[in-house]
Amino acid sequence: MRRKAVAAVAALALSAATADPAHAASVSERTWLNLCGGVSPLPGVTMCASVKLTVVDNLVTLSIQNLSGQYGSAPGFIFTSISFFNANAGATAPDVVEGTVSSMDGPYRTVNGTNPPPWWEVNDTGGSGGVFGIDFAGSTGGGLDGGIASNCTNTQPGGATDVWMTPACGSGGVTDGGPEPGWVVMTFNMTGFWDLDLTDTQFQIHAQSGPEGVSIKCTSGVDCVVTPEPATLMLVGTGLAGLLGAYRRRRRREDEEDGAPAPA
């Protein structure tokens, strides 16, 4: 009887341990930093961006930086939409809950005053081969209202246009910049879990140059590629210079040992 009682207690303890009433959240993340490139009607004209995705159960948080004006790209591009593809092995994703995103905030142009730009809208159509897309809610203000700009240029659309703005070139002209360089953050819901760890999810950003009206699209993994930080480029250059110096010193020693004149 004693053994049966001990076994029963052990079974109850195991059942309590495995039947945890608290739900363990499913979390996945994906980050693309300093991607530059794009397809434009103007040769050599590119844009730059950073994008972060975090999915907790069925809540998606999307963060975007417009870095146009950095790394030799054109500064005047304003992001107007983003779509995602390769969302899972079956080339589909859980359905998004369409409509305006759950929330949206971040840095915006100071000239907007107390009227931050409108929220974006999410839909299942995606566009340009995407599984689903998120578009700026231009219908609330018209034109490029709600687009994400970079503060690396003074030739953005007029002051009546309410744009989100990444402080990519300092903090000038930006309200609520937050920690540098500042992200525009939005959240929206899906009907199921979107596992970013098991998929090769990619994105395509569409942008428009305010002054010239030139459109551009930048697709990660295709024509939008990682650009090294300037500090990294400096380190690479310093390393190459050091290797070249070491090579010349070795050649000089070898030539001197052979009795040949050392190269200049």
Output the pLDDT for position 238: 32
The whole-angstrom distance between residue 65's C-alpha and the CA centroid of its chain comes to: 6
pLDDT in tens, 3-14: 444 344 344 444
Output the pLDDT for position 8: 46
Joined tokens for residue 1: 């009887």
Instruction: Report the candidate in 204, 2, 182 with the shortest Cα–Cα distance to residue 83.
Output: 204
Rounded Cα distance, 99 and 124, in Å = 10
Identify the three-state secondary structure at position 224: strand
Strand boundaries in the chain, DSSP class E: 27-37, 47-56, 59-66, 77-85, 99-100, 103-105, 108-109, 120-123, 132-136, 148-150, 164-166, 174-175, 184-189, 202-209, 215-219, 224-226
* Domains in the chain: boundaries: 25-231
Identify the three-state secondary structure at position 2: helix
- Determine contact, residues 50/65, Cβ cutoff 8 Å: yes
Tell me if the pTM is above 0.85: no
Instruction: Pick out the chain residues at pLDDT < 70.
Output: 1-23, 87-93, 125-131, 138-142, 158-159, 179-180, 210-212, 228-264
